[in-house]
A and B are shown apart, each in its own frame.
Chain A
Amino acid sequence: MTMELDVFVGNTTIMDEEVYQLWLDGYTVNDAVRVRMDGGVMEECEASADVLLSDTMDQYRTFQMCERLLHSPSKLGNQLLFQIPPHRQAMLIERYYTFDDGFVREVLGKKLSKGTKKDLDDIGAKTGVTLKSCRRQFDNFKRVFKVVEELKGPLVENIHHHFLLSDKLARDYAAIVFFANNRFETGKRKLQYLTFQDFAFCAGQLISNWTVGAVDNMVEDMDVDLDKEFLQDLKELKVLINDKDLLDQHKSLVCTALRGKTNNLNEMETNFKNLSRGLVNIAAKLTNAKDVRDLFIDLVEKFIEPCRSDRWTSADVRLYLTHYNNSVHLLDTFKHQVVWNRYMDVVKSSINILHVRLDESEGLSCFMEKKKSQRWGSCSSCRSPHSLAPGQTGGGLRDLFWAPTQPGRQQPVGRTHRSGRRRSIRKKDSLIAARGGLPHL
């Protein structure tokens, strides 16, 4: 029997975590009822479909009423409308701000603007996330972005304090905000194998080393904007490749250090100038906004791909980078040790993670299985490159790195085209432009 009115209110607000999740996932009431029925709640406690429907409606209503408060979680703690035990409040907030990794991966580095919001249905369809849930997540990103961009102090702290999120989630949001602000390009095919967590790790590195906040911790946007002076200073590093003596000296130092520690010494030696030139050039170009955006692509193209083609293992890469970095300190004539360190700390860890991930994704696609538990460790089974069977999903990746002509060739054309469009949008969006956070195109 359908009720004209059906309300159930408890003094302590009664919430079912399962229904909350369904609500967050954007299920309609009827779909949620179906899911719950399939979940076997009915058998568990002899309920009928009516009862389930009425319960679901009640809960949905409660959540809708709470949603307003969840937008500013600190209000939830001292509002009087709902009596919710603190651990429940924490759960509500945490879940509300939790996002789908697949979804965030799609919007990572994009501008959190209306334009992107219009594309949400496509993203939803692609990632299998309901539009409603996409909107919630997107709005969450935007809300966090808006609140923290005006604040002083460390980014993660600010998010943690204003949104009462767990440390982990606050860090993830810091990464999202950071990427959105600097508009790092993450959507390119070459970067597809990277998960959100990989980027979040890199973001953490960038925030703690390259931002204004890394040197001064009481300015606005300290963790959101890259340190302009530092970027300027990076130009000085060019001496490492331009000065022939220095380059040779560096090379010999690295090779000496590597001797006997790796099987790939030859390749390392032959590639040294090439790789070093790549890394230093990336550094020198970072004053340019466009090149900042392409940081990750550049790292892949200039360093990881050459390494891949020489079949370096992740251990090789790590070893090489360590010595490549350390040897610079032995160069007496090189005066920019501090800048170098600041630069290399990030590059080293980022390349490591990008390479490890590539290794893994190769290996995993090879075995057609996913093991998330091994995320942060290098995949032992994939230490050496595999010969991939043609036609497998991994083929795409292989094509990407071994094919002489890169499939992503047309991309730059599209990129220039799109950046042109973006510029026009950005003029309207005075908010971000006025912050000076984005280098001008």
Chain B
Amino acid sequence: MPGKLKAKIVAGRHLPVMDRASDLTDAFVEVKFGNTTFKTDVCHKSLNPQWNSEWFKFEVDDEDLQDEPLQVTVLDHDTYSANDAIGKVYIDIDPLLCSEAASVISGWFPIYDTIHGIRGEINVLVKVELFNDLNRFRQSSCGVKFFCTASIPRCYRAVLVHGFVEELVVNEDPEYQWIDRIRTPRASNEARQRLISLMSGELQRKIGLKVLEMGGNAVVGYLQCFDLEGESGLVVRAIGTACTLDKLSSGSAPNTNTHMPVFGEDMTSTSGPPTPFRALPTTSSSLPPFSPSKPCSRQSSSSDTDLSLTPKTGKNTWVPFSHLQEFPFFTLTSFPPGFLVHVGGVVSARSVKLLDRIHNPDEPETRDAWWEEIRQEIKSHGKALGCHAVVGYSESTSICEEVCILSASGTAAILNPRYMREGCLDIGITDHRFEEPSPPSCGFCHIPYDELNMPFPAQLTYCYLCRRQKVPDVLFTTINLPAEAAVTGKGCLIQARLCRLKKKAQGEVNATAISNLLPFMEYELHTQLMNKLKLRSMNALFGLHIQISVGENMLLGLASATGVYLAALPPPGGIQIAGKTPGDLSAEHHILTIQKRINDTIAKNKELYQINPPELTEEVLGSPVPDSRQRSRLFRSHSESSDEVSELDLSHGKKDAFVLEIDDTDAVEDIHSLLTDAPTPTGFYSCNTEIMPGIYNWTSGVQMFTSVRVFRLSNANLTNQGLNKIFTDLCENLLKSFYFKLRSMIPCCLCQLNFTVAVPEEELIQVGGFRTSLVCNETEEQLQFPLELCADPSSANCQPASKASGKNSASVDYGSFADRCSTWLELLRLKAHTIRRGSVKTISSLERSSPLPEGRSRSLRSNRSFGGISVTVVKMTPLSFLPGTRIIKYLGIINMFFIRETTSLREEGGVSGFLHTFIAEVFSMVRAHVAALGGNAVVSYSMKECMLMENPNKNQAQCLINVSGDAVICVRETDQEPTPSTASI
């Protein structure tokens, strides 16, 4: 049963003026949990009221504790009329329910109003007393830890990985209830915010129950999404990986007595079924299941047959999962060494559904069935690749009116079965790198499928590192680059962008049109990716994320990935241009120039990314691999082009060349667009994975940013080409402006660049004027240095200084914390590149010259923390770690949903001003919550949703933002002991 929730309202500050006559406010606070409400006294005539209320106590079920948020409403007392609401704070008390997380929530929270934004701050104290409940039939799952981080959290050890958990909750959307016609926008927004908060609490509780059932105690890679389906409801769904985690004693070195998996021998038993064409590491474009199933009716039959083909071979290998659950999926993207044995390739599935065909929209069954279908399909794809598991798994939707595209993707892989059974997954072991029969630096590249049964050995070569196993020539995955992988040179961001027009249609016709377009889009995106990869002279993609979003009259596809040159894989061939009419001289000349440009670009890129693989002798290259048909398997898989390709003999000596054919103007355009990708400016690196391959020395300067752009298409009759160009330009410009904005931080690396595209709703009034919005979120920016830090004596000097100052200022005080970060960073920057000037410099020199860091930093702190009130610096990062720091405690998951609406769009600076303010407000609320939990950083932060609806004619706009992440306490890596004072502020 029960728990006791206690809340205390301490004070408010910076409140807005509610009484025009006195320029003051008579504020009081309502604290609500469930159906119980308490009120504080009215604090008359003050903008900085001190309530210092008693402890308000709520005695509630722990089920409610998990579902409900604590609602704090600040109101202005009015004697004669109704009290005016100033704003609200929703406090998720979930982190308090877990003994290992935060023990108290205490701090300043921004008071948020959905119409006016942030209006002052309120200081609240919340505690929970939880009584043990051993009831077997309980509905609560207190104590299960949730992590957004898609890897084993840094201060934990995975005892056992149980596998996939998913849950889905449906409710009616308050926006679409009849009552919405009569209530105020504020009431409607608040109803929605509250509902979503409730639903995600419920979802989390249900998933927690599943985890407990499986015997786990935590969910990692927790991914929660909202589908605003409109009329048919509001869906909150989540997936994650259930684990049993053990907390490492803080600061101690990771356990080393782990059993490393034995590779090699196991291989034959784990090999997949002989499904020839599936052996492509890149299944996306070639798989029939990609043809999305027709709405509600036709399932892709191919996946069913696959299932029937394979179960026996796969079965014994996934014993550890199969008795536990249906889907051997893992939402993890980074793994402890040895966990991942082989990687097959990307598997994905999409399906188009009609939302208005749901029989009983309020029940989750239909959606459950939809996802079930998709997951089955993914599973069968995985098996076709000879893999028993799918890692880096994620699901997403794109909704436009009543059409919904469900997508799922992951990377087929073979995980170490022994590992699973013994459950001793551990992190941080790198020392047995070369003792293994199949070295971890290349082991995961080896094909998981049976080579003997492959009809086309052409695509396989012996591994360039160990020379024992076969590897494919290209590898696409959705996971992060394994830490132990051997990489040549640096990685880079590779993007494929595509726009496809479609006719405006309704219902089934529309759905059919979309599902017919999808495979072509996938194919084209894939071709683009492949071309760009070759152009950069790389041979593997990591973190591949393909997003297809649907609009009323177009489909947008955006694929982002990080290209890498894996040393184990063969070097990629060049790109060959072929003309269709060999006789035409001018055309040939044209082709030659293009060819030259391409070759130049490849050479330039090789230099840029420092890709200079050791030259291999002919002998090593291996004659067992016939190179007769070393064309792209893309062409092969598509019958219409494969014939033409094979007729041409364009291979570059022994290396396989990638042939691009110029047969019409479209192809010319495509090739041009290949070459128009602007190179990253010097000093910048970008990738969409957690760590930049090839760069290992990070500094702690982290800057997270969010950028949103919306572009209105002006021309009514746009062609596919025109759209593509605009879309590409949009993406390129966005990247360019990132580089520009962050120029002062050079050398810097943009990590976890997460692009999202959307085609927002279209009003019928704007005839032919379409709007494309490109939303780009969560971009992580970091500093790194190509120089060895220790090699530079001056930077070695300054490190101790910052270390010392970091140690003594244990409390995460704004002044000192910021100081030591900026100082450290600044000093390094000064040393490495003397490009910085300005006021910061003086601070760093001050800090450096101080022989007594303690006194100095204290004095600095007191100088800076204006008026004695300090604001905790909270860093935010989409990475699962903060470079240069060590996470000592996870405080719980942050999952917040905000709605902001305005009826004075122009006055707030237009849409840009509106959204700018809103995003800044969301950041500040996240920071405030983390700080209140006692944390100083958010890791694995992501902005899941950012939906903007505007109506400039009515001067209105509405925006929804959903953010999530893990609140943590981290300390500088150099600090020896975590200080207890940080835990409870």
| Interface residues in chain A, defined as those with a beta carbon under 8 Å from any beta carbon in chain B | 1, 3-14, 16-17, 44-48, 50-52, 54-55, 57-58, 61-62, 64-65, 73-83, 85-87, 89-91, 164
Report how far A78 CA is from B818 CA in the complex, Å.
Answer: 14
With contacts A1-B711, A14-B705, A80-B871 known, is A7 near B915, CB below 8 A? Answer: yes
With contacts A5-B912, A87-B839 known, is A80 near B705, CB below 8 A? Answer: no
- Main secondary structure on B side of the interface with A: helix
| B36-44, B849-857, B922-930 - the one binding chain A | B922-930
Are A51 and B740 interface neighbours, CB within 8 A?
yes
A sample of 23 cross-chain residue pairs with beta-carbon separation below 8 angstroms, ordered by A number, consists of: A3-B711, A5-B708, A5-B911, A6-B709, A6-B710, A7-B912, A9-B923, A11-B875, A44-B743, A46-B736, A47-B737, A51-B733, A55-B740, A58-B916, A61-B913, A76-B866, A77-B867, A78-B866, A78-B869, A78-B870, A80-B924, A81-B924, A86-B819
Q: Nearest Cβ in chain A — how far from B113, in angstroms?
A: 14
Q: Quick one: CB contact mask for B906-918 with A, threshold 8 Å, 1 for yes?
A: 0001111101110
Are A47 and B712 interface neighbours, CB within 8 A?
no
Q: Nearest Cβ in chain A — how far from B794, in angstroms?
A: 22
* B739 contacts chain A at the CB level, 8 A cutoff: yes
Report how far A6 CA is from B874 CA in the complex, Å.
Answer: 25
Q: Quick one: CB contact mask for B109-153 with A, threshold 8 Å, 1 for yes?
A: 010000000100100000000000000000000000000000000
Q: Nearest Cβ in chain B — how far from A258, in angstroms?
A: 48
Q: Which residues of A contact B740 (CB under 8 A)?
A: 45, 47, 51-52, 55
With contacts A5-B710, A11-B876 known, is A81 near B915, CB below 8 A? Answer: no
Report how far A89 CA is from B874 CA in the complex, Å.
Answer: 16
Q: Please list the 9 inter-chain residue pairs (A to B) with the smallest Cβ-Cβ separation, ordered nearest first.
A: A77-B866, A86-B864, A5-B710, A10-B705, A78-B869, A4-B710, A9-B919, A8-B707, A85-B818
Interface centre among A51, A65, A79, A87 (most CB of B within 10 A): A87
* B730 contacts chain A at the CB level, 8 A cutoff: yes
Are B915 and A55 interface neighbours, CB within 8 A?
no
Are B703 and A1 interface neighbours, CB within 8 A?
no
Report how far A274 CA is from B739 CA in the complex, Å.
Answer: 72
Report how far A91 CA is from B822 CA in the complex, Å.
Answer: 15
Q: Which of B121, B737, B911, B948 contacts A55 (CB 8 A)?
A: B737
* B695 contacts chain A at the CB level, 8 A cutoff: no
Are B733 and A50 interface neighbours, CB within 8 A?
yes
Q: Which of B681, B867, B916 contacts A9 (CB 8 A)?
A: B916
Q: Which residues of B contact A62 (CB under 8 A)?
A: 916
Q: Which residues of A contact B871 (CB under 8 A)?
A: 77-80, 83
Report how far A17 CA is from B876 CA in the complex, Å.
Answer: 23
Q: Which residues of A contact B110 (CB under 8 A)?
A: 80-81
Q: Nearest Cβ in chain B — how far from A86, in angstroms?
A: 4
Q: Which residues of B contact A90 (CB under 8 A)?
A: 839, 864
With contacts A9-B923, A86-B864 known, is A1 near B710, CB below 8 A? Answer: no
Report how far A414 CA is from B838 CA in the complex, Å.
Answer: 48
Q: Nearest Cβ in chain A — how far from B728, in angstroms?
A: 11
Q: Which residues of A contact B925 (CB under 8 A)?
A: 80
With contacts A5-B911, A80-B927 known, is A10 near B704, CB below 8 A? Answer: yes
Q: Nearest Cβ in chain B — how far from A77, in angstroms?
A: 3
Q: Nearest Cβ in chain B — how far from A4, in angstroms?
A: 4
Q: Nearest Cβ in chain B — how far from A18, in angstroms?
A: 10
Are A10 and B703 interface neighbours, CB within 8 A?
yes
Residue of A nearest to B922 (CB): A9
Are A9 and B869 interface neighbours, CB within 8 A?
no
Residue of A nearest to B772 (CB): A4
Are B706 and A9 interface neighbours, CB within 8 A?
yes
With contacts A3-B711, A45-B681, A50-B733 known, is A86 near B916, CB below 8 A? Answer: no
* B865 contacts chain A at the CB level, 8 A cutoff: yes
Q: Which residues of B contact A80 (CB under 8 A)?
A: 108, 110, 118, 121, 871, 924-925, 927-928
Interface centre among B703, B869, B870, B912 (most CB of A within 10 A): B912
Q: Nearest Cβ in chain B — how far from A44, in angstroms?
A: 7
Are B867 and A8 interface neighbours, CB within 8 A?
no
Are A87 and B875 interface neighbours, CB within 8 A?
no
Report how far A86 CA is from B814 CA in the complex, Å.
Answer: 8
Q: A4-B771, A82-B920 are in contact. List 12 more A-B contacts (CB 8 A).
A: A5-B710, A5-B910, A7-B708, A7-B916, A11-B703, A45-B743, A46-B681, A64-B909, A77-B864, A80-B118, A83-B874, A90-B864
Q: Nearest Cβ in chain B — how far from A102, in angstroms?
A: 25
With contacts A1-B733, A4-B911, A5-B912 known, is A75 near B709, CB below 8 A? Answer: no
Are A85 and B822 interface neighbours, CB within 8 A?
yes
Q: Nearest Cβ in chain B — how far from A84, in angstroms?
A: 9
Q: Which residues of A contact B14 (CB under 8 A)?
A: 75, 79
Residue of B nearest to A9 (CB): B919
Q: Nearest Cβ in chain B — how far from A36, in angstroms?
A: 11
Q: Which of A7, A12, A52, A89 contacts B707 (CB 8 A)?
A: A7
Report how far A164 CA is from B864 CA in the complex, Å.
Answer: 10
* B319 contacts chain A at the CB level, 8 A cutoff: no
Report how far A50 CA is from B736 CA in the complex, Å.
Answer: 10
Report how far A67 CA is from B761 CA in the complex, Å.
Answer: 34
Are A77 and B869 interface neighbours, CB within 8 A?
yes
Q: Which residues of B contact A11 (CB under 8 A)?
A: 703-705, 874-876, 923, 927
Are B867 and A78 interface neighbours, CB within 8 A?
yes
Q: Which of A14, A16, A51 contacts B736 (CB 8 A)?
A: A51
* B402 contacts chain A at the CB level, 8 A cutoff: no
Report how far A83 CA is from B927 CA in the complex, Å.
Answer: 9
Q: Which residues of B contact A64 (CB under 8 A)?
A: 909, 913
Report how far A55 CA is from B736 CA in the complex, Å.
Answer: 11
* B921 contacts chain A at the CB level, 8 A cutoff: yes
Residue of B nearest to A78 (CB): B869
Q: Nearest Cβ in chain B — how far from A46, in angstroms?
A: 5
Q: Nearest Cβ in chain B — how far from A166, in angstroms?
A: 11
Q: Which of B710, B818, B874 contacts A3 (CB 8 A)?
A: B710
* B201 contacts chain A at the CB level, 8 A cutoff: no
Report how far A76 CA is from B924 CA in the complex, Å.
Answer: 13
Q: Which residues of B contact A50 (CB under 8 A)?
A: 733, 737
Are A65 and B917 interface neighbours, CB within 8 A?
yes
Q: Which residues of A contact B912 (CB under 8 A)?
A: 5-7, 57, 61
Report how far A44 CA is from B121 CA in the complex, Å.
Answer: 42
Report how far A12 CA is from B877 CA in the complex, Å.
Answer: 11
Interface centre among B704, B818, B927 (most CB of A within 10 A): B818
Q: Which residues of A contact B710 (CB under 8 A)?
A: 3-6
Q: Nearest Cβ in chain A — how far from B834, in angstroms?
A: 15
* B726 contacts chain A at the CB level, 8 A cutoff: yes
Are A86 and B865 interface neighbours, CB within 8 A?
yes
Q: Nearest Cβ in chain A — how far from B50, in angstroms?
A: 15
CB-contacts of B814-855 with A (<8 A): 814-815, 818-819, 822, 838-840, 843
Report how far A12 CA is from B711 CA in the complex, Å.
Answer: 26
Are A48 and B920 interface neighbours, CB within 8 A?
no
Report how far A8 CA is from B741 CA in the complex, Å.
Answer: 9
* B729 contacts chain A at the CB level, 8 A cutoff: yes
Q: Nearest Cβ in chain A — how far from B978, in angstroms?
A: 23
Report how far A155 CA is from B381 CA in the complex, Å.
Answer: 77
Residue of A nearest to B948 (CB): A5
